[in-house]
Amino acid sequence: DVKVTQSSRYLVKRTGEKVFLECVQDMDHENMFWYRQDPGLGLRLIYFSYDVKMKEKGDIPEGYSVSREKKERFSLILESASTNQTSMYLCASIEAGRGDGYTFGSGTRLTVV
């Protein structure tokens, strides 16, 4: 069964902390995405990556960075967490050039206090 695994289901961090959200997929997908989901706003794209060491800004990259050192792992980094980054974070992956087969992780609910 193919999977996108996010390391934590729930996370509570303090303002100013550096936060790492990890996403691992076992499908050898080239393309990986990080979204945040907020009530009334839906899913918004933070960053995406089409290959190892490549990254592209999405619609709301401010306050975030990413790392893709290996094909299967795409990390989202909050350099200095703030309360407005409290949200549900979702990772997704898909094989390059495919229109179908998007697979989502189960999400990490991050609370910044």
Partner 1 sequence: KNEVEQSPQNLTAQEGEFITINCSYSVGISALHWLQQHPGGGIVSLFMLSSGKKKHGRLIATINIQEKHSSLHITASHPRDSAVYICAALYSGNTPLVFGKGTRLSVIA
Query: Residue 12 or residue 41: which is nearer to partner 1 going by CB?
Result: 41
Query: Residue 87 or residue 105: which is nearer to partner 1 going by CB?
Result: 105
Query: Residue 9 or residue 18: which is nearer to partner 1 going by CB?
Result: 9
Give the shortest CB-4-to-partner 1 separation in angstroms.
9
Give the shortest CB-107-to-partner 1 separation in angstroms.
6
Q: Facing residues of 51 across strands?
A: none
Residues that bind partner 1 (CB under 8 A): 31, 33, 35, 40-45, 48, 50, 58, 90, 92, 96-97, 99-107
Rg (CA), the chain: 13
Query: Residue 10 or residue 14: which is nearer to partner 1 going by CB?
Result: 10
Question: What one-character-per-residue DSSP string does 22-65 give?
Answer: EEEESS--SEEEEEEEETTTEEEEEEEESSTT--EE-S--TTEE
- Residues 80 and 18: beta-carbon distance below 8 Å: yes
Give the shortest CB-94-to-partner 1 separation in angstroms.
9
Distance separating alpha carbons of residues 42 and 25, to the nearest angstrom: 23
Give the shortest CB-11-to-partner 1 separation in angstroms.
15
User: Among residues 17, 18, 24, 21, which one has the least CA distance to residue 8?
Assistant: 21
